[in-house]
Structure 1
Amino acid sequence: MTGYARATGAVSGAAFTCEIKSVNSRGLDVRLRLAPGFDALESEIRQLIGKMISRGSITCNLSIERDGAGGHVLVNEQALATVLAVMSEMTGKIAASPPTLDGILGLKGVLEQRDKPMTAAAETALSTAIIEGVSQALVDLVLARRQEGGRIAAVLLERLQEIEDQIAQAEAHPARTREAILARLRQQVADLADDISIPEERLAQEALLLATKADIREELDRLTAHLTSAHQLIAGGGAVGRRLDFLAQEFNREANTLCSKSNAVELTAIGLDLKASIDQLREQVQNIE
């Protein structure tokens, strides 16, 4: 399921921004991008995500802005020495004006700006605020995913209604009856040769055998049971994506068997429509937790 949430906060000396994004995934895949120096929070943040989300590809970005007003500007003595050594070596080789102090200090790496160190208490307060911010962002993310889930649930119910209608069509199709099979068998025998005479009792036996082989009663009963289970899972809510995915596979298995047992073109067409609806159902199931 997709979703986005953002939380911000600040303590004395620093401010933070936490962004969490979610996209579809078969399992739970968590990717953290934490600001330098905050790797110690990774385990706790992963635990928070795992408690609230069970499926999806989650990306959590944490950025920190420290108060630079009291920062320090330091001279990188090693970099400065290297620059001065090169200048001394090049003196007399190139006709140029001597470099100015601001020019030397403007060279990359000569001056370094460092943020003012935070006290241990301030660092602890910042870490606590970050965890609270991540928790709030997760609450907002779960709410956004739940809203999307409600929209997807409506689509799933439409697909289930299609499947139910197609099961009813297969249930009522006249080609399933022994009488229809016997009539087709008589016609097939008549088409082979007019002078072939087969006792009516033998035709009835063959029709019964064909009806037994083509019986889809068991498949229809299983499809109906899967429908009931799917409705119960959707009504119950929660993390039902994987169970619905399994049910979709079972739906497809029964539809395949129905098509293989079909003894009429119309019944095969119903089976193919059923497979199409099941595929659409399964595609939507991939989008929920």
Structure 2
Amino acid sequence: MTAFASGEATTPWGVLACELRSVNHRFLEIAARLPDDLRALEPALRERIGARIQRGKLDVSLRLRAAEGAGSLQVDRARLAELARLSRELEADFPGLRTDFSQLLQIPGVVRGEGIDPAQLHAEALALLDRVLDGFVEAREREGAKLAQAIVERLDGIAAIREQVRECIPAIREGQRTRLQARLADLAQPVDPGRLEQELVLALQKLDVDEELDRLDAHVAEARRVLKLREAVGRRLDFLLQEFNREANTLGSKSVDTRTSSAAIELKVLIDQIREQVQNIE
């Protein structure tokens, strides 16, 4: 499900900014972008997100914008001395190789900030993440409500088609009976009345779709119930759609009338539309 949320928090070391954005995905996939000072938070960050989000390809980023005058920068002279030693050792292998001062400063660990309390900074970052997650979940719930309404409309369509089929079944059966009787009447040899009745019963049994219609009714009711649950329902709806599709296929295979054939096609269209929406639901 697509969603976006962001937030900021002021700390003694600058402004923390957090962003969360997601797109549709069958499973939960988290990509984290964190500064060095917050890199150790990644396991806790993934755990907190996973506790509230079950599906989606999610990007999370934390940034720390240093406040003006918030702590001075220090050069790690031991780190520089180690780099100088390595340079002398490798000078014979790389003659003429030169590194300017600005490149040295970009090497991790050479320049570091002063005065940051890691434990407090991490606590501030997690508190900010929780607030942004609240907004993120609310955004997903708003979108989820719209998707649920779209699904309910298609469930209404399935229920209407089911009723149309149920209403026309008696006429279809009577038409089949009439056609079969007419064909038997055209035979040169007379047909035993008992055999005629038996053939009629067998033919009508093959056309019996009452069970399929009853199961469609049950699936519609279950889908409506699931959509009202306050939990992740995407996978449960995925399974239900397989059952919907099975009934539509059976209805089509038993059809001997354009009305039921058209109904089976319309059912599949609605089922596919629901499936597209379910891919966006957690």
Aligned-partner Cα distance in 2 for 1:53–1:111: 40
Amino acid aligned to 2:259: E
1:5 maps to what in 2?
Answer: 5
User: Which residues of 2 match residues 5-154 of structure 1 at below 5 A?
Assistant: 5-67=5-67, 69=69, 70-72=72-74, 108-109=102-103, 114-119=111-116, 122-154=117-149
Q: Is the 8 A contact 1:175 1:267 kept in 2?
A: no
Structure 2 residue runs of 5 or longer lacking an equivalent are none
Residues 73 and 67 (structure 1), Cα distance of their counterparts in 2 relative to 1, 3 Å cut: farther
Amino acid aligned to 2:247: E
2:153 maps to what in 1?
Answer: 158
SS in 2 for 1:4: strand
Task: Please report how far the alpha carbon of residue 181 of structure 1 lies from its aligned counterpart in structure 2 after TM superposition.
Answer: 2.1
From 237, 247, 252, the equivalent of 1:244 is 237
Amino acid aligned to 2:163: A
- Could you tell me the TM-score, scaled by structure 2's length? 0.84
Structure 1 residue runs of 5 or longer lacking an equivalent are 91-103
Residues 188 and 32 (structure 1), Cα distance of their counterparts in 2 relative to 1, 3 Å cut: farther
1:145-194: CA deviations, max 9, x gaps? 0000111111011100000001111111146664332112123446xx56
Q: Is the 8 A contact 1:4 1:144 kept in 2?
A: yes
Q: Is the 8 A contact 1:73 1:114 kept in 2?
A: yes
2:258 maps to what in 1?
Answer: 265
Aligned-partner Cα distance in 1 for 2:171–2:236: 32
Q: Is the 8 A contact 1:185 1:203 kept in 2?
A: no
SS in 2 for 1:15: strand
1:226-261: CA deviations, max 9, x gaps? 111111112234311111111111110111111112
Aligned-partner Cα distance in 2 for 1:63–1:40: 14
Task: Please report how far the alpha carbon of residue 67 of structure 1 lies from its aligned counterpart in structure 2 after TM superposition.
Answer: 4.4
1:74-104: CA deviations, max 9, x gaps? 896767x88xx9xxx99xxxxxxxxxxxxx9
Amino acid aligned to 1:140: G
1:101 maps to what in 2?
Answer: none
Task: Please report how far the alpha carbon of residue 110 of structure 1 lies from its aligned counterpart in structure 2 after TM superposition.
Answer: 5.4
Residues 279 and 187 (structure 1), Cα distance of their counterparts in 2 relative to 1, 3 Å cut: farther
Task: Please report how far the alpha carbon of residue 107 of structure 1 lies from its aligned counterpart in structure 2 after TM superposition.
Answer: 6.0
Aligned-partner Cα distance in 2 for 1:265–1:105: 81
State the identity %: 35
Is 1:229–2:222 an aligned residue pair?
yes
Amino acid aligned to 2:131: Q
SS in 2 for 1:236: coil
Aligned-partner Cα distance in 2 for 1:72–1:64: 18
RMSD: 2.8
Aligned positions, number: 268
1:44-91: CA deviations, max 9, x gaps? 111111111122222111222334742246896767x88xx9xxx99x
Q: Is the 8 A contact 1:14 1:126 kept in 2?
A: no
SS in 2 for 1:288: coil
Residues 61 and 111 (structure 1), Cα distance of their counterparts in 2 relative to 1, 3 Å cut: closer
Aligned-partner Cα distance in 2 for 1:264–1:175: 12
Q: Please say which of residues 202-211 and 70-79 is displaced more in the overlay.
A: 70-79
Aligned-partner Cα distance in 2 for 1:111–1:283: 51
1:85-132: CA deviations, max 9, x gaps? 9xxx99xxxxxxxxxxxxx9976425668343224xx22221111001
Task: Please report how far the alpha carbon of residue 274 of structure 1 lies from its aligned counterpart in structure 2 after TM superposition.
Answer: 0.9
Aligned-partner Cα distance in 2 for 1:155–1:116: 52
Aligned-partner Cα distance in 2 for 1:180–1:10: 78
Aligned-partner Cα distance in 1 for 2:44–2:104: 39
Aligned-partner Cα distance in 2 for 1:218–1:271: 15
